[in-house]
Amino acid sequence: MKRTQFIASLATAGLTAARASRSIAVARRPDYLITVEETSWEVRPGLTVRTKSYGGVVPAPLLRMQEGSEVIVEVRNRTTVPQSISWHGMIVPDWVDGLATPDVPAGGSRTYTFAATPAGTRLYHSVHGGGMFSGMFGPLVVEGKNEPGNYDREVVLVLHEFQHSIPKQGTMTDERPPGSPTLTAPAMGMMSGGMMGGSMMGGGMMGGMMQNMPMHDARYAAYAVNAKALGAGDPIRVKRGERVRFRLINASATLTHRVAFPGHRFDVTHLDGNPVPRSRTLDAVEMGCGERVDALVTMDTPGVWILGSTEAQARRLGLGIVIAYDGEHGEPVWRDGARDAFRYQDFGAPARPSDVDGTYDLVLAKSPAAPDAWSINGQTYPDTPRIEVRQGKTYLIRFSNMSMMEHPMHMLGNDFELARVDGIPTSGIRKDVVVVRPMMGSSDILFRANNPHGGRFLLLCHNWQHMEGGMASVIAYVAR
């Protein structure tokens, strides 16, 4: 499915006048004003890109809300195409971030009202007009009512890339460089006798799905942290002994990133903004498209350091930021050596039995329909399976990845709990994105249909190419 077709299907899918009117029926002034406009942005000296932004800056300003508060946002669209904002990670009605959400027309404005929940690190970004390939994204923090605050300061870091291009020549090979994320590693590796070997790959289901289906992955001129390439922005100054809470957000359109902070370790406390059952201390963290990681770092190794990608090529293109201790000067230092694996299940509690009211099996695969087509159960959106749920019920959704790329599967307006990852059971990890590893990777999630408004939402791959290529399904709350 072409990008224009996918966007058109979102714009027309079930919008009703009654629900649209709810988004504008407000009596008080907006808490936040977001202006969508064309912007020139200098990523690094010699590279200024023309993009769309919120308020003329990239990333957009941090929005900070109090948990449970009613929030009114006015969006003014100064571009020539309709716009819509996704409140990534928020539990909101479908007329705010779902299939009933009215667009902001070109040159027009619209006001949206919703409750700020749940607490945690969130993200707001564009759905139309370039989506995550553009500069229309920004961090959002919902302050918890019972936030412990066991840190001295907070630093928000948003990862992104600029000036993308889609190569005409696709590839079938694994081109992952050293230092790549473990979340992108094939669940089943390369074997002798051909790719993954065996009769299953040679002539069975996997072989049929993968043969003659080259991937045309986006490439970028520059990578950035907080929209500045490494060395182009101001360093972050810290003090020895400080305990810093890093809110790391991957606003990439297509890439999973692994980042390290040489000489320091990340005490990971939250995934996708939600506290984990078991915190873990690691030398590197990983995030798929749209994922967030909160981690505490004790500043106990004075110097001038690079916090950045473990991939040398990504750092060379700009994925990093300088962290400098007060009183320290000189060239920033990078050291290879981050070895810790990043596995979801390591943050979970022991598995526990859970009764479910229904099960959905979703097979993620490359589609032969077109070079840029991706499928769920052999179909592309809007012909993919419809997931029907009832309010208050629990459903098991089982993802199986029969493609050669990872798929960060994201749920709008709702969240879920991880139940099993690549065959390993777990519990207690609440997320709204799960990266399903390539080559027979699998993730089972428990979806509790508890959005108080019901409605219809998308379950989609947050890799923008895959989403636009048709890897999305409708989740519909239905009557009892």
pLDDT tens digits, 73-116: 999 999 999 999 999 999 999 999 999 999 999 999 999 999 99
Structure tokens at 234: 């101001």
Quick one: pLDDT at residue 20?
Answer: 42
364, burial (CB in 10 Å: exposed 0-12, middle 13-18, buried 19+): buried
Residues in a beta bridge with 83 = 104
Residue for token pair 């079938």? 172
393 and 334 together in one domain = no
224 and 334 together in one domain = yes
Quick one: pLDDT at residue 189?
Answer: 59
137 and 13 together in one domain = yes
Quick one: pLDDT at residue 167?
Answer: 77
Check pLDDT > 60 for residue 17: no
Domain harbouring 453, CATH code? 2.60.40.420
In a domain, 442, yes or no: yes
pLDDT band at 146 (very low <50, low <70, confident <90, very high): confident
In a domain, 351, yes or no: no
H or E element at residue 159: strand 153-165
Tell me the residue type at 131.
Answer: G
pLDDT band at 370 (very low <50, low <70, confident <90, very high): confident
Q: Domain span at residue 69?
A: 3-146
Compute, in degrees rounded to 10, the torsion defined by CA atoms 179, 180, 181, 187. Answer: -120
Which of 342, 377, 407 is a domain's end point?
342
370 and 338 together in one domain = no
In a domain, 160, yes or no: no
Higher pLDDT among residues 126 and 147, named by residue: 126
The DSSP annotation for 70-81 comes to: EEEEEEEE-SSS
130 and 13 together in one domain = yes
15 and 139 together in one domain = yes
Lowest mean pLDDT among 113-117, 198-202, 320-324, 383-387: 198-202
Quick one: pLDDT at residue 172?
Answer: 52
261 and 141 together in one domain = no
Check pLDDT > 60 for residue 191: no
372 and 312 together in one domain = no
pLDDT band at 24 (very low <50, low <70, confident <90, very high): very low
Which of 100, 125, 146 is a domain's end point?
146
The DSSP annotation for 255-307 comes to: --EEEE-TT--EEEEEETTEEEEEEEEESEEEE-TT-EEEEEEE--S-SEEEE
State how many domains the chain has: 3
Residues in a beta bridge with 306 = 322
Q: Tell me the mean pLDDT in the region 333-344.
A: 97
Quick one: pLDDT at residue 9?
Answer: 58
Average pLDDT, the chain: 90
69 and 135 together in one domain = yes
Selection from 105, 158, 112, 154 nearest residue 135 by Cα: 158
Structure tokens at 354: 């859970």
In a domain, 318, yes or no: yes
In a domain, 353, yes or no: no
377 and 288 together in one domain = no
Q: Which residues of 439-471 are buried (b: 16+ CB within 10 A; e: fewer)?
A: bbbbbbbbbbbebebbbbbbbbbbbbbbbbbbb
In a domain, 200, yes or no: no
The DSSP annotation for 406-472 comes to: -EEEEETT--EEEEEETTEE-B--EESEEEEPTTTEEEEEEEE---TT--EEEEEESSHHHHHTT-E
Q: Tell me the mean pLDDT in the region 252-261.
A: 98
Quick one: pLDDT at residue 130?
Answer: 85
pLDDT band at 5 (very low <50, low <70, confident <90, very high): low
Quick one: pLDDT at residue 171?
Answer: 59
* Percent residues over pLDDT 70 in the chain: 87
The angle subtended at Cα 83 by Cα 12 and Cα 30, nearest 5°, is: 115
232 and 117 together in one domain = no
Quick one: pLDDT at residue 192?
Answer: 32
Selection from 449, 418, 453 nearest residue 347 by Cα: 418
Which of 317, 342, 367 is a domain's end point?
342
Q: How far is CA 97 from CA 72, 103, 332, 346, 412, in A?
A: 14, 10, 41, 31, 7
Residues in a beta bridge with 236 = 323
Residue for token pair 């390993």? 424
In a domain, 162, yes or no: no
Q: φ and ψ at 372, to 5 degrees?
A: -110, 20
pLDDT band at 212 (very low <50, low <70, confident <90, very high): very low
* Percent residues over pLDDT 90 in the chain: 82
pTM of the complete model: 0.92
Lowest mean pLDDT among 44-53, 197-206, 222-231, 389-398: 197-206
376 and 277 together in one domain = no
In a domain, 181, yes or no: no
Higher pLDDT among residues 341 and 171, named by residue: 341
Check pLDDT > 90 for residue 44: yes
